[in-house]
Amino acid sequence: MTSERVSSAGSVAMRVLGVVLVVVGVLGFVGSLTQGNVVGLVLGVLFAAGGAMLIKRSGGPATR
């Protein structure tokens, strides 16, 4: 029973971190797009992709 709570807490933590990374990535991408900063664009995409991967690995909703 304890391991279920721990894995559930870990899953929730991964999901929250994933959402935060996606939001930061999108905001960084848009901010860099307005300034024309290529490095910022790449970092924004990487943050968003990493966040999406965390959400998927946390047991989020299945997609086809």
pLDDT tens column, 4-63 = 555 677 888 899 999 999 999 999 999 999 898 999 999 999 999 999 999 998 875 555
Which secondary-structure segment (H or E) carries 39?
helix 38-57
pLDDT at position 16 is: 92
pTM here is 0.78
How far does the chain reach from its first CA to its final CA, in angstroms? Answer: 31
Quote the percentage of the chain above a pLDDT of 90: 56
